[in-house]
């Protein structure tokens, strides 16, 4: 029958193989890293951009006014098939 190598050797080879694989994965991940560019705007420009991107607080409370039914997210709600139910008779 087939004889297994001693456990120490088998695990040692396995560890080397996994270490090489990990090293390759890390190298590939480092290649894909996108380095962010520094923000070259002045503090005044950054402040103005922040204020411009803030939501209008006057309208925030009136979002759901006038709606009689709540909004549902996604399309997972049950819908009819368009055909009437069949009855015996």
Res. 82: pLDDT tops 60: no
Residue numbers of the domain that contains 20: 1-33
Residue 9: inside a domain: yes
Please count the residues of the chain: 89
Residue 63: inside a domain: no
Kindly state the tokens that stand for 45.
């420009």
Residue 59: inside a domain: no
Average pLDDT over residues 71-83: 56
Number of domains in the chain: 1
Res. 2: pLDDT tops 70: no
Inter-residue contact 72 to 80 (CB < 8 Å): no
Residue 26: inside a domain: yes
Residue 13: inside a domain: yes
Per-residue confidence (pLDDT) for residue 13, from 0 to 100: 78
**Percent of the chain at pLDDT exceeding 70:** 51
Question: What mean pLDDT, rounded, does the chain reach?
Answer: 75
Per-residue confidence (pLDDT) for residue 20, from 0 to 100: 94
Question: Mind listing the pLDDT tens digit for each residue in 22-48?
Answer: 999 999 999 888 888 888 999 999 999
């Amino acid at each position: 029958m087939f004889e297994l190598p001693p456990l120490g050797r088998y695990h040692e080879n396995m560890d080397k193989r996994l270490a090489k694989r990990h090293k390759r994965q890390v190298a590939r991940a480092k290649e894909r890293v996108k380095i962010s560019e520094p923000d070259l705007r002045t503090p005044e420009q950054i402040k103005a951009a922040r204020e411009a991107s803030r939501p209008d607080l006057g309208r925030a409370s009136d979002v759901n006014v006038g709606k009689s039914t709540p909004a549902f997210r996604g399309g997972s709600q049950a819908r009819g098939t368009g055909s009437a139910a069949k009855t015996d008779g």
